Amino acid sequence: MTPSFSNLLSILDIESLGDDIFRGLSPASGWTRVFGGQVVGQALVAACRTVERRLPHSLHAYFILPGDPSIPIIYEVARLRDGGSFTTRRVSAMQKGAAIFSMIASFHVQEDSIFDHQATMPDVPPPDKVKRLDLAETMGEKMRSEMPNFIRRFFEADMPFEMRPTDLSRYVGKKVTDGRVHIWLKAARALPDDPALHQCALAFASDFSLLDAALARYGRTVFENSISAASLDHALWFHRPFRADEWLLYTQDSPNTHDGLGFSRGLIFRADGTLVASVAQEGSIRVRRPRPPAA
C-alpha cells in the first residue's frame, strides 16, 4: 500500500523480507524521482533493524542513480562489523537490479568522556515568530509557474515536516551575502518514543534544502526551472539526543562552489541551543541551457 506523503511513519515503515533485506515504498507525491532524504531515512531504518542496543552516530552515503518512485526500493544490509564499541553496516538500495544508493552507517555504545564542547547556536528569531514556508504566500504566481513541476507538487502537498525559514525573502531573489541560511523544522505529527526512529526521521529531513544553501549568495534557489540540481553524496553525524517532532534549527552554509559542484554543510540544534547533529553534502548545480528552437 502506497504510504501517505504527509505520514512520516508510513514512509519509514519498511517491510522485512528476511536475511537482512527490506522493501521500502515511495509516497504518492507526484515526483518523477525519489526524494533523496527518503532513501537516506529508509536505509538508516534498515541498518537500525540489524543492530541491538546501539544507536547510529554517523552515516556516509552516495546517491548513484535517480530512484523511480513508482516501484519499490530494495535495501540490502551487510553486517561489516560487530565490535566492542562500534558496529558497522553497509546498506545498498536497489531498483531493477541496479544500485541507486549506497550507505555505510556506524553505531556506537554510549560512553562517558571528560571532553565535551559544541558550537553555539546562531541568534535567530524563535519558530513562533517565523512564518512557515508556503509557496502561495512566499512566491508570486509567476515564480510558482516557473518552478519545476516536481518541486511545486512537493511543496503543495501535505509535508511530513513543517519548515519555517527565518528569512523568506531569499526565496524571491534576495542575495544572502554570508551565505548562511536558517530553517526551523519539526515532524508534522507526533512520533513514538523511539530514539532510533527520531534519528531516522532527522536523516529524512536533513536532505531538505541543504544543497539550496549553495545558491544563497546569488539570490537563486534550486526551485527555479533554470537550475538543475542533484545531490551526489550525504554525510550525517548524530551528537546528542533529540526529538524530531520538536522544533530544531537547521543552520546551513556553503563554503565552496566550483566546477559545477556545490558543497553545503549544516548544524542542527534543539531549541534550547543543544547541538544534536552535523550534516555535509555535495551536489551538482548547473544552469540549464536553453533548448535550440525547433527547425
Catalytic residue among 199, 207, 245, 278: 207
Tell me which DSSP letter residue 288 carries.
P
- CA gap 269, 11 in Å, rounded: 24
Does residue 157 contact residue 224 with C-beta atoms inside 8 Å? no
Question: Is there a catalytic annotation at residue 207?
Answer: yes
Looking up cell 526500493, which residue turns up?
A: 73
Cell of 102: 549506497
Question: Is there a catalytic annotation at residue 253?
Answer: no
Q: At what angle do helices 195-205 and 36-48 cross, to 10 degrees?
A: 160
Question: Is there a catalytic annotation at residue 118?
Answer: no
Cα separations in angstroms, 265 against 21, 58, 111, 262, 279? 31, 15, 27, 10, 5
Catalytic residue among 26, 29, 206, 281: 281
Catalytic residue among 38, 209, 231, 252: 231
Cell of 79: 553486517
Residues with catalytic function = 207, 231, 281
